[in-house]
Amino acid sequence: MSRTAGCWQSCVRHVFHYETVKTLVIPNVRVGCVFRFTQLLVLLYVVGYVCVVQKSYQEKESVVSTVTTKVKGFAFTNTSTGNWKFWDVADYVIPPQGETSLFVLTNMVVTPHQTQTRCPELPNPSTTCVDDCDCIEGLSDPRGNGIQTGLCENFSTTVRTCEVLSWCPLEIDSELPERALLASAENFTLFIKNSITYPKFNFHRRNIGSHISSSYLQSCEFHRATDPECPIFRLKHIVSEAGEEFQEMAVKGGVLGIIIDWSCDLDWWAETCHPKYSFRRLDKDPASNLAPGYNFRFAKYYKTQNEEEFRTLFKAYGIRFDVIVFGTAGRFSIVPTIVNLGAALAFLSLVPVVSDWFMLTCMRKGDLYSRHKVTHLHEDGDAEAELTSTSYGTQ
Ligand SMILES: *[C@@H]1O[C@H](CO)[C@@H](O)[C@H](O)[C@H]1NC(C)=O
């Protein structure tokens, strides 16, 4: 009875007690240095990294962008058979409407007048045969050119191959012109119109800024040093900026990334928010040169006067230009400022921990400090009563 009452009394007393932390002042230069140095590190982190580098006081948003492109230039080709051909945009840009990705044809293998008949396969170890037994009727090998008929035919005077049902004659793409057909594509120009917006900040821009005059636009050409803002690019120039040789790339094609960086700080330099262009070859990298190049096939279909269908097959090699737009803009906002500042300042609570550790372990008088810092209580008697008497020194 009395025990319960005593406990209850002490509980009530505790509610109306104020507890405060006892401070131990260590008059030691080394500990003081560690304390101030740790404080300095935390402040440097807050000011240098959080505010200046990360700009954590800003609200961030990613760019939203649209791109249209237009290629200009003419070419004139001469084939070995003496045929010449004039080329304009409608001939070499496929498909004709340019968007973030456009293809400029530079080389091709043409197989004219193909009809649906039977012809011997191109020779390779799996298609050569001695007689009909080596060929399986109905076999369609995805690496082959058609469906086998089960017959073994003369491909040439020396080689026999399995006959296939296909568009014949078959395309022989191993005879690719070594100098690109449209070598003069290096002088074509590419005009990129890029419009961006940061919806959260109601910020809109084009890569043709208001400070660019129309007469400048008609005559300029992008150059990193002299014309970094001109949106007209000579193909040879951007391929060489990507560290590649145009004529070499034109033979087997490739993919070239035109990377537009719109990262801006809208607090201080919104007026100078201009795009930065860079270029990179995407279909191969220096570490691995496997399967570079870019090509695809398309055909044009015709009918003879007897209503028989035939086609001309094109294997088109060329450079695909991918326009990649990225960027992040930031503008001051109170909410991220408070949140990030709070998170950063929480590191200040680490300072006493580091200083205490140094004081207790690295100093000669560590034991003395430890005895003053940590007060051990005796276990006899009522623990709560002991605590009260020890705290106030009244017995
Ligand atoms: C591209 O233009 C330059 C200069 O205008 C010229 O010297 C060069 O021969 C042209 N390239 C081709 C492949 O026609």
Over residues 97-141, the pLDDT tens digits come to 767 899 999 999 999 999 999 999 999 888 888 888 888 888 888
- Residue 25 is labelled as binding a ligand: no
Residue 65 has a CB neighbour count (10 Å cut-off) of 20
- Report yes or no: 190 and 233 within 8 Å, Cβ to Cβ: yes
Assigned domain for 4 exists = no
Residues 316 and 199 occupy one common structural domain: yes
- Residue 297 is labelled as binding a ligand: yes
Give the amino acid at 252.
Answer: K
Distance CA 371, CA 155 (A): 100
Residue to substitute in 107, 184, 188 for testing ligand 1 pocket (most ligand atoms within 8 angstroms of CB): 184
247 lines ligand 1 (CB under 6 A): no
Q: Which residue's alpha carbon is nearest to atom 9 within ligand 1?
A: 184
Q: Which residue's alpha carbon is nearest to atom 6 within ligand 1?
A: 187
Residues 257 and 183 occupy one common structural domain: yes
Least trusted range by pLDDT, from 76-85, 90-99, 174-183, 385-394: 385-394
Number of domains in the chain: 2
Query: Mean pLDDT across the stretch 373-385?
Result: 56
184 lines ligand 1 (CB under 6 A): yes
345 against 6, higher pLDDT? 345
The pLDDT of residue 379: 58
- Residue 55 is labelled as binding a ligand: no
- Report yes or no: 108 and 181 within 8 Å, Cβ to Cβ: yes
Assigned domain for 371 exists = yes
Place of tokens 């930065």: 276
CA distances in angstroms from 241 to 212, 234, 238, 257, listed in the order given = 23, 11, 5, 11
Distance CA 375, CA 352 (A): 18
Residue to substitute in 77, 187, 236 for testing ligand 1 pocket (most ligand atoms within 8 angstroms of CB): 187
Distance CA 322, CA 327 (A): 16
- Domain end point (choices 306, 331, 356): 331
Place of tokens 């940590």: 374
186 lines ligand 1 (CB under 6 A): yes
CA of 188 to the centre of ligand 1 (A): 10
345 against 115, higher pLDDT? 115
Distance CA 124, CA 170 (A): 14
Q: Where are the alpha helices (DSSP H) in 243-292?
A: 246-252
Confidence of residue 27 (pLDDT cuts 50, 70, 90): confident
163 lines ligand 1 (CB under 6 A): no
- 73 pLDDT more than 90: yes
263 lines ligand 1 (CB under 6 A): no
- pTM comes to 0.78
Closest residue by Cα to residue 379 from 389, 388, 387:
387
Distance CA 378, CA 395 (A): 14
CA of 362 to the centre of ligand 1 (A): 74
- Domain end point (choices 308, 331, 354): 331
Distance CA 277, CA 326 (A): 11
Assigned domain for 307 exists = yes
- Domain end point (choices 294, 310, 331): 331
Residues 313 and 349 occupy one common structural domain: no
Residues 271 and 382 occupy one common structural domain: no
Residues 86 and 183 occupy one common structural domain: yes
- Residue 71 is labelled as binding a ligand: yes
- Residue 103 is labelled as binding a ligand: no
Residues 286 and 363 occupy one common structural domain: no
371 against 112, higher pLDDT? 112
Question: What are all long-range contacts of 24-31, with beta carbons under 8 Å and residues at least 24 apart?
Answer: 24/369, 24/372, 24/373, 26/359, 26/369, 28/359, 28/363, 28/365, 30/358, 30/363, 31/355, 31/358, 31/359, 31/363
- 378 pLDDT more than 70: no
CA of 235 to the centre of ligand 1 (A): 12
Assigned domain for 394 exists = no
Assigned domain for 70 exists = yes
- Residue 70 is labelled as binding a ligand: yes
Residues 322 and 364 occupy one common structural domain: no
Assigned domain for 395 exists = no
Residues 269 and 241 occupy one common structural domain: yes
- 28 pLDDT more than 90: no
Residues 214 and 105 occupy one common structural domain: yes
Query: Mean pLDDT across the stretch 144-150?
Result: 90
Distance CA 251, CA 11 (A): 90
Query: Mean pLDDT across the stretch 45-70?
Result: 90
10 lines ligand 1 (CB under 6 A): no
Residue to substitute in 77, 181, 186 for testing ligand 1 pocket (most ligand atoms within 8 angstroms of CB): 186
- 265 pLDDT more than 70: yes
The pLDDT of residue 380: 57
- 386 pLDDT more than 50: no
Residue-wise pLDDT for 272-315, tens only, equals 889 999 999 998 877 777 888 999 999 999 999 998 999 999 99
CA of 292 to the centre of ligand 1 (A): 26
Assigned domain for 145 exists = no
Q: Which atom of ligand 1 is nearest to the CA of 183?
A: 13
Q: Which atom of ligand 1 is nearest to the CA of 187?
A: 1
341 lines ligand 1 (CB under 6 A): no
The pLDDT of residue 327: 94
Distance CA 284, CA 209 (A): 34
Residues 277 and 380 occupy one common structural domain: no
102 against 23, higher pLDDT? 102
CA of 388 to the centre of ligand 1 (A): 96
Residues 218 and 318 occupy one common structural domain: yes
Q: What is the percent of the chain where pLDDT is above 70?
A: 93
CA 187: distance to chain centroid?
29
77 lines ligand 1 (CB under 6 A): no
| Structural domain of 91 | 62-121+170-331
CA 119: distance to chain centroid?
47
Q: What is the percent of the chain where pLDDT is above 90?
A: 46
181 lines ligand 1 (CB under 6 A): no
Residues 240 and 355 occupy one common structural domain: no
Assigned domain for 149 exists = no
